[in-house]
Amino acid sequence: MAETHTPAAQGRPPARRKTNKKILLSILGILVAIPVIAIVIILTFDWNRARPWINAKVSDAIDRPFAIRGNLDVEWERPAKTMTPEERSWRDHIPWPHLIANDVHVGNPAGLPAQDMASVRQFSFSLNPFGLLHRTIGIPLLRFDGPRVDLLRTDREHNNWTFKRNEEKSRWNLDLERVVLTEGVVHIKDAVTKSDVTALVRTLDKDKRYGVGWTLDGTYNGAKVVGGGKAGAVLSLKQQGTPYPVQAEMRSGRTRIALEGTVTRPSRLAAIDLKLELAGASMDQLYNFTGVVLPTTGPFSTSGRLTGTLGEANSRWVYDGFKGKVGSSDIGGRLEYATGSPRPKLSGNVRSKQLVFTDLAPLIGADSNAAKKERNADVVQPTGKVLPVEEFKTERWNKLDADVRYAADRIIRDTAFPISKLSTHLKMENAVLTLEPLEFAMAGGTVRSNIRLDGRGREGPKAIKAQAKVAARNIEIAKLFPKIEQMKATVGNIDGEANLTAQGNSVASLLAGSNGELKTLISKGQVSKMLLEMMGLNVANIVITKLFGDKQVQLNCMATDFAVTNGVARTRTFVVDTQEALITVAGAINLADEQMDLRIDPKTKAVRIFSLRSPLYVRGPFSNPDVSIDKGVLAMKAGGAAILAAVAAPIAALIPLINTGPGESTDCARLLAVAREKPQAPPPGKVQRR
């Protein structure tokens, strides 16, 4: 009987195939059961039991109290349901565990008042549980409902917004994609800037561009501050190329800052592109808001484009294509601000097509008291004081370096004084300010100055060490006062030099302690009461009127040379040669007391019976000097004239008598050569008052 054999190649036994299938199904069941069980545990676990542990760990990590006082729960949620369609990505449609914590509080660090730094009505975020397997905390959406933040600074060293840094590299990575903010409050109290400001944040449901709006109210540096603005509702932290829209405006007194534009990579403020408008009573008042040292000016307003990039070490800001007004003058150009060591630096080019000369007055504190009040100046000009006493803010000079060029194409003055152009190159380095050069185009010539102000003294009555070299060349008299041509004036030039050093903290104190010399040379020309009235030189007007009456006086030449010692300018040479007389001036001008004490001696050249010319004295304060005649000499000359008239009348009728005056013209070349010499300066002393 034949045996039948089934070969192994015909397949495995059915029992074994069933066993393998069961094992496979069991493995699949376990793989499905694990996440299901995890989900059930997540959903059914009482997470409030974990609050003490979470509070302790977070408090230790941030080095200040942290507490979840309300309910702690977990739900499943798709981030997409809370977002507008244009903000959604495919990830936002995936449901994730959504952690919800109610009534969360963060306290102040040790050393500050025991109160909340921040609190939130509800704090929630979605979490990718699979990322935890790779030590990644993946949070697609982080949401704050009803947050309140109280920022506090008691001095420059202590605040509650600085957290200690963990120098050890964490083994965990944070992957935060978006942050959503709803209605809340941000309160700032800063003892350094004397600020107490509250911002109210609210949602904007019907605004397609902006999702969050805010208003601001409070005080800053003792002044009322109000403002408001808008921002995008969803702050994208992962999609770095998505611009985040912002709009804001703030006012403090007359200072206004308004901006509108976008911020790219908002987590780091890496790229900023804004339209920026600035306005206020003075540019220097922006320092408290921007940290940028700017000059004292009159009322101003500018508008331009602000772009910036913030790096880990350095940041760069460019205010480009800005235009505006300073006082009645226009202004425009490009400025760049770059942070760095040892100080940030401001550089750029600024130009005015038309500069009103009086708009320069606030730079040196020479504006009126009414204007000072408008810009909240600390010091007003005392009554009767001519030289500006307002102090320069040298304590700020070491906060910034600068390299800025400024030019004015046309200058307008209230009087007929033909300054036509201005240009300067301003540099600030380590609190040393230089204007090299400061140049005016004037009446066919130039006035060129090199000024150095060393402000490293920071504060005090001698905060600044100053050096000034001024040279005036080829100033044409006919162009200096165009109306002279109508009076048939001859052609002449003015040259001058000044070389001074000083210490002080204002124009008045610098001149009060100045040392050096002043010189002027004038050749040819005419002077008259009308001309001097045009110039606004009241003292000279009175002198010319007393000497010559109200008429044209031919000027051959004039030379002045003053030695300045400890703020007292004493005459070394002061001679005026006219067609009718040779006039010498002697005395001193006290720049500290603002007092003059000058004697003017005229010597008549004309052939006359007798001259009643006598010395004049110019005395008193700059604000109201007195020009008087030496009455004793005048009386003697008057008496002599009367006797001479009685005794010599018959002879005088026949033969004119020659009396007083050299009769010949002065050699102008010799006179000017004497002025160019440098005789020994007189010893220092105060102006002698008579």
Residue 149 is predicted with a pLDDT of 94
Residue 495 is predicted with a pLDDT of 86
Among 192, 211, 226, the domain-final residue is 192
Higher local confidence (pLDDT), 340 or 354: 354
Which residue matches tokens 């370096």?
Answer: 401
| Token pair listed for 510 | 């610098």
Distance CA 523, CA 340 (A): 54
Q: How far is CA 297 from the centre of its chain?
A: 9
Taking all residues of the chain, what is their mean pLDDT, rounded to a whole number?
78
**Each residue of 648-687: pLDDT tens digit?**
333 333 333 333 333 344 455 565 565 555 444 444 444 4
H-helix or E-strand spanning residue 578 = strand 568-578
Cα distance from N-terminal residue to C-terminal residue, the chain = 164
Higher local confidence (pLDDT), 487 or 572: 572
Q: CA angle at residue 568 from 567 to 570, to 5 degrees? A: 145
**Each residue of 362-407: pLDDT tens digit?**
888 888 888 888 887 877 888 888 888 888 888 888 889 999 999 9
592 is a domain residue:
yes
DSSP label at residue 212: E
389 is a domain residue:
no
Q: What is the DSSP string of 483-544?
A: GGGGGTPPP-EEEEEEEEEEEESSHHHHHHT-EEEEEEEEEEEEE-HHHHHHHT-HHHHHHH
- From start to end of 265-382, where are the E strands? 271-280, 300-310, 315-326, 329-338, 345-352, 355-356
Please answer whether residues 600 and 650 qualify as being in contact, where contact means their C-beta atoms are separated by less than 8 angstroms: no
H-helix or E-strand spanning residue 6 = none
**Each residue of 581-635: pLDDT tens digit?**
778 889 999 998 989 898 888 877 754 433 445 688 888 888 887 877 765 544 4
Q: Within 45-94, where are the H helices? A: 51-62
- From start to end of 339-431, where are the E strands? 345-352, 355-356, 401-408, 411-412, 419-429
96 is a domain residue:
yes
Among 175, 192, 209, the domain-final residue is 192
pLDDT at 537 exceeding the cut of 60:
no
Residue ranges making up the domain that contains 104: 43-192
Distance CA 554, CA 524 (A): 8
268 is a domain residue:
no
Distance CA 669, CA 682 (A): 25
Identify the bridge partners of residue 336 per DSSP, sorted by sequence position: 318, 347
Please answer whether residues 540 and 532 qualify as being in contact, where contact means their C-beta atoms are separated by less than 8 angstroms: yes
Please answer whether residues 380 and 367 qualify as being in contact, where contact means their C-beta atoms are separated by less than 8 angstroms: no
Reported confidence tier of residue 326, pLDDT bands at 50, 70, 90: very high
271 is a domain residue:
no
Longest dimension (CA), the chain: 196
Higher local confidence (pLDDT), 289 or 403: 403
366 is a domain residue:
no
pLDDT at 9 exceeding the cut of 50:
no
Reported confidence tier of residue 138, pLDDT bands at 50, 70, 90: confident
Please answer whether residues 381 and 391 qualify as being in contact, where contact means their C-beta atoms are separated by less than 8 angstroms: no
552 is a domain residue:
yes
309 is a domain residue:
no
Among 192, 215, 234, the domain-final residue is 192
Its pTM stands at: 0.71
On the CB side of 655, how many CA atoms lie within 13 Å of its CA? 4
Residue 540 is predicted with a pLDDT of 57
- Total number of domains constituting the chain: 2
